[in-house]
Structure 1
Amino acid sequence: MSLYFSQWVGQYWNQDVLVSSQNQWNSNVVRAAMAVDGGGYVNDSVSNYAKIKAVIEGAINIGMYVIVDWHITSNLSYTPQAIQFFSNISKTYGSYPHIIYEIWNEPVVTWDVIVNYANQVIPVIRANDPNNIIIVGTPDGSSGPWFPPSQRLNYNNVVYTLHIYEDVFGGVPQQQGRAQATTAMSNGIPIFVTEYGTGSVWPNETLEFGETELWYEYFDQYFISHTNWCMSDVPGTMSAIKAGSTSYNTPAAQIGAIVANSAYFTEDGIFVNQRYQNLDLTSPSAPHIVWSSQYWIGQTVDKTANPWNSTWQDGTATNYGNWNNPSQGPNNGNCTNQVCAIIMYSATSTSANPGTWDAVAQISGYYPAICQINAIY
């Protein structure tokens, strides 16, 4: 689930809400939408930074992923503040695997402008955090990475965002949007849907559950991670909690109880909650079945003359089973001009129902790359 803008409804930015999201909403990731202007970080860095620290540390405490989202559209004058912000976050929390960086929420600029911005921000993050996922916004309000694969960014573990609303999906029909997303992924451009709504925004919010169901089927088919907008009680049909259920002074524990109580859910909240409750996030305790584009479990992936392999680490109550240190594979996970492995694991333990890939487990290579994909069910 995505939280609302940090400068508004900040009472939801606490660990109690995360616990309820994890337990009653079956969520394994929270998106913290750090507002930039309009009372956000550039106007009040102290209180807004305190809010995101509370969410990050709460997520770490309970074993939840957290997307640190620089929630802005097109004001490039705040690039120095973005660099400072992500430098501080990555320096403080970059050693935790829970952290995901979303460096630009919804750019309304061309791809070349986004690339220039990313080339200023990403190196600052990578100086402190070499491996955690970085999500890059896309043109037309993050309506999708429809650029040629040769134009993708030359950094490891970078994915591209796609935001979905019934009426603002880059001006194209929803079905065409799914076709474009399929083409992008087939060209090696990974997608993370960091924000989607269950209906239309303009001129009035209306719910479109039928179209959202089609997107859910698409997410499941292509193993796309997704976060819903939004966990809040602001007026509007796409808030998960009924308007006015809390105030800024409502105690955190009480808000957590409200988030856990379906009596407070909106129509949108009921729909999204049912979807998430039906997802199987069980951690596999062993590598039951492995599919690979070339290699199988126990085989060696060659890096020139030096063999490399990895061992399985069982999952725990809060962490999925995974290969030990997959990013420390050939050339530290960089695939340029050689064969290496991209390790992925699913949230289920059967081949009949592969479930949803956990995007955080994707160890990507630099472009261009010759990579194999190992998938653990």
Structure 2
Amino acid sequence: MKRRIRIITSCALAAALAVSGPACIQNVNAASVTVQANAVSKSQTPVGQHGTLSVKKTSGYAAPTIVDKYGKPVQLHGISTHGVQWFPQYISKDSFRSLRDDWGIDTVRLAVYARENGYTQGNKDLMDKKIEEAVSAAKDLGMYVIIDWHVLSYNPNEDIDAAKTFFTKYAVKYKNVDNVIFEIANEPTGTNWYDGSGKDLYTYSKTIAGVIRGTGAKNIIICGTNDWSQRVDQVADKPLKNDGFENIMYTVHFYAATHYDNIKDNVRKAVKAGTPVICTEFGVCDASGNGGYDFSNADDWMKLFKENNISFALWSLCNKNESASVISSSCNKTSNWTESDLTEAGKWLMKTCKELSGNSGSVNPTPTPTPTPTPTPKPTAKPTPTPTPKPTQTPTSKPTPTPTPEAGTTTGGSVTFDIPSDWGTGFSANNTVSNTTNKTLNGWTVEFDSDVEITAIWNAKISSHKGKHYVITNESYNGIVEAGQTVSFGFNGTKKDGSKATFTNVKVR
């Protein structure tokens, strides 16, 4: 049983947390996978039907593509998690089962951030545990899983030693496991695919692919491409196949309200040149992870992908308050979502995957007696100046026991502390400040007493810490909160093993 700590000051709204994402698979030119909402036998699951995947040239497609154990082309329809360090609660067998049975999903991509409080800078043990949990759950359910080394907006050669260590570990652990795929660099920048410098993406990809193959692992390897994985067309000048590597693919990323024919043309050129293309991340919104949707362009991308048997995964499986998320920010459920729990992106993905996979099963019916609360708009963190996004900064993790709510005096609103993750000596907290006044807050401050030691904070800053007393204030970009609206921030902390993270004498002003 999963329980969750919630410490709520007066009039606080329920804190938003979640992550969600789907993945489904289509057997092209063969019987399509049909997943029912009831019990599914191993032989009926995606992995049960298709087995170990590989990359080969097959009739009907210009470039090598994913094929199953019978040599038949297969299109994966998937979802990417948000950062594992921020939304680990969606990495569970129950979540994956809902995605498979209700959405028609067959593949989940795990976004293992290398930086940003991720694998090299954060709680590596927690992330290792969630990776293992994800692979185990996916294997039990007959789903595919992509382990993504989530490089974002830098040259991956800067962390190449960490990447070598990571992929040596997981290639040994999951060598030739039939449902595991490796993605070695998410969205690299700062270098070309190949320029002969020894610090380009070709050199990095060749090195890491060599590390993986050196363990004896033949799993599919996905390489990131330059300019936030948009220039998949440049791979043809120096592909890894020329060095004897097999089962290699190259990823393209797009966001439908930002990327149109210019990026589609890159895909067309790549396919024409014989480059095996996969899309491990895309969105139906703009490249900031927010803004409006362009479902018409997203559908056009899906048409291009279907024509070329290009597999895909949507960003992202979470309930962060932004357009890219598939779960509504008002929904705290981590499985068995109803349609009212989904964002417009989530509804689009569910419909798209079900149509492509031939899954006629529906999401659990929406209950009528109690209306679903409408999410209150929340300011989001500064958008990163990158053509393809990564909504960031929203940690979470494994749930813990629930104490009695403690109220604090408030003059500017209320705050909800939500702790979905506790690993004994540490925890992650997602917190929501609500403006319960009838005036605009021009800056906010949260004060409380606690025995914990805050080790990392996002969307806020610690302005004072004396003894047990913390004073936390807004960042420059999220200080204005209109009447009735909310803003979120979070932090990681340490505590005595076995103790509960508690917050008393809470004030909001």
Aligned residue pairs total 269
Give the secondary-structure state (helix, strand or coil) at the position aligned to 2:329.
Answer: coil
Contact 1:103 1:134 in 2 (8 A): yes
Q: Does 1:239 align with 2:320?
A: no
59, 74, 87: which is aligned to 2:168? 87
Give the secondary-structure state (helix, strand or coil) at the position aligned to 1:17.
Answer: helix
Contact 1:137 1:160 in 2 (8 A): yes
Give the secondary-structure state (helix, strand or coil) at the position aligned to 1:178.
Answer: helix
Alpha-carbon distance between aligned partners in 2 of 1:2 and 1:280, rounded to the nearest angstrom? 18
243, 247, 252: which is aligned to 1:162? 252
What's 1:126 paired with? 213
Q: How far is 1:51 from its partner?
A: 1.0
Deviations 1:147-186 (A, max 9, x none): 16241113111010000113554xxxx1232222122112
Bigger relative contact order (CA 8 A; separation at least 6): 2
123, 131, 145: which is aligned to 1:52? 131
Identity over aligned pairs, percent: 27
Q: Does 1:21 align with 2:21?
A: no
Contact 1:144 1:163 in 2 (8 A): no
What's 1:146 paired with? 233
Root-mean-square deviation (Å): 1.7
- Max radius of gyration: which structure? 2
What's 2:343 paired with? 266
Which has a greater percent of strand? 2
174, 185, 191: which is aligned to 2:271? 185
Give the secondary-structure state (helix, strand or coil) at the position aligned to 2:351.
Answer: helix
* TM-score, normalised with respect to structure 2: 0.51
What's 2:187 paired with? 106
What's 2:142 paired with? 63
Q: How far is 1:132 from its partner?
A: 1.4
Which has a greater percent of helix? 1
Alpha-carbon distance between aligned partners in 2 of 1:53 and 1:63, rounded to the nearest angstrom? 15
Q: Which amino acid aligns with 1:95?
A: N
What's 1:325 paired with? none
Deviations 1:219-255 (A, max 9, x none): 1111110101111101101110001422xxxxxxx51
Alpha-carbon distance between aligned partners in 2 of 1:39 and 1:16, rounded to the nearest angstrom? 26
Q: Does 1:223 align with 2:335?
A: no
Tell me: CA distance 1:235–1:148, structure 2 relative to 1, closer, same or farther (3 Å).
Answer: closer
What's 2:464 paired with? none
Tell me: CA distance 1:234–1:128, structure 2 relative to 1, closer, same or farther (3 Å).
Answer: same
Give the secondary-structure state (helix, strand or coil) at the position aligned to 1:124.
Answer: helix
Q: How far is 1:16 from its partner?
A: 1.2
The runs of 5 or more residues in structure 2 that have no matched partner are: 1-78, 195-199, 360-509
The runs of 5 or more residues in structure 1 that have no matched partner are: 247-253, 283-377
Q: How far is 1:204 from its partner?
A: 4.6
Alpha-carbon distance between aligned partners in 2 of 1:278 and 1:213, rounded to the nearest angstrom? 12
Alpha-carbon distance between aligned partners in 1 of 2:148 and 2:280, rounded to the nearest angstrom? 9
Q: Does 1:275 align with 2:352?
A: yes
Q: How far is 1:201 from its partner?
A: 2.9
Give the secondary-structure state (helix, strand or coil) at the position aligned to 1:4.
Answer: strand
Alpha-carbon distance between aligned partners in 2 of 1:204 and 1:84, rounded to the nearest angstrom? 34
Q: Which amino acid aligns with 2:255?
A: Y
Tell me: CA distance 1:49–1:281, structure 2 relative to 1, closer, same or farther (3 Å).
Answer: farther
* TM-score, normalised with respect to structure 1: 0.68
Alpha-carbon distance between aligned partners in 1 of 2:93 and 2:140, rounded to the nearest angstrom? 8
Q: Which amino acid aligns with 2:87?
A: V
Q: Does 1:208 align with 2:294?
A: yes
Contact 1:144 1:160 in 2 (8 A): no
